[in-house]
Structure 1
């Protein structure tokens, strides 16, 4: 069973066949699919799955905190199942490919006190951009 399926089951989330196939499509490293990509892949396994069901399921997974929405440059939202594994993103500026990266260091600690302007900083989202090998 996938990590995402285990987490959802552990929360007592009812795993219908539709929900299960959406979770299975999202399982894995470096998975950052759009809702339409999730629907296309899920429909290969379960042809009767509707686009609305996929969107609703993704929304529920995000609300539960088990999947993150990732937005890059106004493109379609992508869904990242690695919600419980701290990481940043590397995005291809041309094709939009997204990869998880794990830089060393603490981005919260890297922000000098003088640049915090009195904020109590609790989170940092860093996106690295460049060209992937296919576009480079």
Structure 2
């Protein structure tokens, strides 16, 4: 079970099959998917999941503070499951790719 699913269960969030598959799709440190990308991946695992369910679940996860909503100019919002560690986002103006950028102090702490 992923960290996200464990946290949600610990908060008493009802883990329906639809909610579970959305959380599983978002699992990972460097995932910044649009709602449509989440729906596409979720539907590959659970064909009956609706786009509305994905949007509603993402909204709930954002409200709970478990997922960050990343707004980009002229592009679809992206969803970042890395809500626990403070960071910024670098957005490529060409392709729209979103990358996490951690404070320099974090990077320096990893040096020998």
- What is the RMSD computed on CA atoms of the aligned residues? 1.3
* Secondary structure of the corresponding residue to residue 89 of structure 1: strand
Describe the superposition over 1:57-87 as per-residue Cα deviations: whole angstroms up to 9, x where unpaired: 0011111111110011131111111111111
* Secondary structure of the corresponding residue to residue 58 of structure 1: helix
> What are the within-5 Å matches in structure 2 for residues 83-94 of structure 1?
83-94=83-94
Q: How many residues align?
A: 106
Alpha-carbon distance between aligned partners in 2 of 1:74 and 1:16, rounded to the nearest angstrom:
33
Alpha-carbon distance between aligned partners in 2 of 1:62 and 1:18, rounded to the nearest angstrom:
16
- Per the normalisation by structure 2, the TM-score is 0.90
Q: Which residue does the alignment assign to 1:103?
A: 103
Q: CA deviation at 1:89?
A: 1.2
- Specify which structure has the higher proportion of helix: 2
Describe the superposition over 1:85-115 as per-residue Cα deviations: whole angstroms up to 9, x where unpaired: 111112111001111121315xxxxxxxxxx
Structure 1 gaps, min length 5: 106-136
Which is greater in Rg?
1
Alpha-carbon distance between aligned partners in 1 of 2:86 and 2:10, rounded to the nearest angstrom:
20
Alpha-carbon distance between aligned partners in 1 of 2:35 and 2:68, rounded to the nearest angstrom:
12
- Please identify runs of 4+ aligned residues in structure 1 that moved more than 3 A: none
Alpha-carbon distance between aligned partners in 2 of 1:64 and 1:29, rounded to the nearest angstrom:
18
* Secondary structure of the corresponding residue to residue 72 of structure 1: coil
- Per the normalisation by structure 1, the TM-score is 0.74
Alpha-carbon distance between aligned partners in 1 of 2:46 and 2:93, rounded to the nearest angstrom:
33
Structure 2 gaps, min length 5: 106-112
Alpha-carbon distance between aligned partners in 2 of 1:62 and 1:103, rounded to the nearest angstrom:
23
Alpha-carbon distance between aligned partners in 2 of 1:31 and 1:74, rounded to the nearest angstrom:
20
